[in-house]
Amino acid sequence: MSTVILLVLAAGGLAWSFFKDKKKTGQILKGAFNSFAKTGIEILGILSLVGLLLAWVPESTIRQLLGSGSQLLSGIFGAALGSVIIIPAFVAFPLAASLYSRGAYLLTIAAFITTLTMVGIATMPIEIRHFGKKFTFYRNLMSFMMALIIAAGMVIFL
């Protein structure tokens, strides 16, 4: 749904731009293509490596790691694991939900699904390219700690 919105926005914007100034639109397309090619190669590499990692580490290992140990420790572990891997929501939610229903701590699950989207160790090279090392480091560190706080808050409220 929001993918469609994005596509419509981009296509509409391009059409408008083309109508206003053909030459400028050509430059815009060239610029967009250049940055796509540049970032695309990097993302392709990163996603391939993550795909490989997920294929090597079976789901059962992730289950084991998240479903055991003390509450605090597995909470931190959940946050850490969520930071390192990228998995699409339609894989992550069923996995996390099934762990939760089998007795994994709320803290662990909440931390895991929050860092999964907000913290991206794997995508750091791309973030650094756009914003530099310092910004990237601080944003991810803050997100990691906030994820733990959010998870702790959920334990208190639920």
**Interacting positions 61-100 with other proteins (CB under 8 A):** 86, 88-90, 93-94, 96-97, 100
Please identify, among the stretches 8-16, 62-70, 76-84, the one whose residues bind other proteins according to the rule CB under 8 A.
8-16
Size of the site for other proteins (CB under 8 A): 79
Chain center to CA of 148: 16
Give the residue with the Cβ less far from other proteins, 65 or 122: 122
Q: Is 138 among the residues that bind other proteins (CB under 8 A)?
A: yes
Mark residue 87 as left, alpha or beta (left: phi above 0; alpha: psi -120 to 50; beta: remaining): beta
The least distance separating other proteins from the CB of residue 72, rounded to whole angstroms, comes to 18
Task: Find the radius of gyration of the CA atoms of the chain.
Answer: 20
**Options 63-71, 74-82, 119-127: segment touching other proteins (CB under 8 A):** 119-127
Give the CA distances from residue 101 to residues 19, 67, 105, in Å, rounded to whole numbers and listed in that order: 56, 10, 9
